[in-house]
Structure 1
Amino acid sequence: MKNSWIIGLLLALIGLLPLASTAQQVAISDFMVKENLSQNGKLAIIATDSLEKTNNTIQGNYRFTINGFEQDLKFSDGVAVTSNPIASSTFVYFKHKSGQKDIGKLFFLRVTEKGITPYKISGMLLLIIPLLILYIAYKFKRFLITLLILAIIYFYLNYSKGLDVRELIESSILGIKNLI
């Protein structure tokens, strides 16, 4: 009877051992990109918390998508180094799927002789710049239409009514002098 208790206890412990060895990885909630400390042209991806402080509990392999290519990055104390060096300035998109949440960031990596400087590009900026260009083009179109109408009126007055550019400029200068 005593031996059956011991055998039962050992079987229960043996059954629970695989569960203890398959611990779940800590999820990466955010990350930032910097140049590797050795300045060898490689990037360091640093796992951070919501306050942008390094999360040192991140250990092991995590899957990242870098410009569409999937890579397993090995994190040690919250820092992983990419395998390929950056040779010239470029845009790079980093994406990581953490449980239910996708984290994606676009960076412009400027390469100089001093090293790599990453500039984060906001998603809102990618929406605002094209809208601003369209707005300027719309306003410029209206300006061009107004300029075309004024040119047609000028040519009409110039050819049929005898208006000359010198007289127009002289009239404007006299009008400004009268105001002063």
Structure 2
Amino acid sequence: MLPRTGGILGLMMVLLLLVAGWWGLAANASAAQAQPPEPRREVQGDPAAPAISFIDSPGATCLRPQPKSDACYITWSYLSVTAAPSQYIISMTVAIDSQVRAAHWGFFQQSMFFPAELYGEGMRVSCGPPGAAGLPGLGRAYSYVLRARETGGLQAANYGAVTCPAGLYTTYLPVTLR
């Protein structure tokens, strides 16, 4: 019995060493993958191509100030447009679901800044019934486009979408007399 026990113990030791070796290799591999790659900047297109305007628009929000209403307001904390060098901003428009809601024009301005207070509560839209955008508990989703034009003829645009909270949705049943 003694030689057989020694053989089993030897086999167990070899397996234990193999598992420990694999464990160490796996730990080193996961540590190497956990480090993010160095950031790099890639340039596409012709480097001599003209620069275009830049639009800065932090994410839009949709708020419902009155709990028992279907009126929601889409707003941004600010909107900012900057022209390319040696150009001026001609116009900037804000469209929600393809309808222009705000239009601004410039005259020899290289940049425009629009604080949230300029639009009051925001741009009024319908909140929509629960699940209108396919998300339970939320209302309608709206797409928006911010466009800027400059004197050189170039344009810039920011695209996005915002989902509103579900509004009050009332269904009226018909009255029937018997």
TM-score higher than 0.5 here?
no
Structure with larger RCO (C-alpha < 8 A, sep 6+): 2
Q: Which has the higher strand share?
A: 2
TM-score after normalising by structure 1: 0.32
Q: Which has the larger radius of gyration?
A: 1
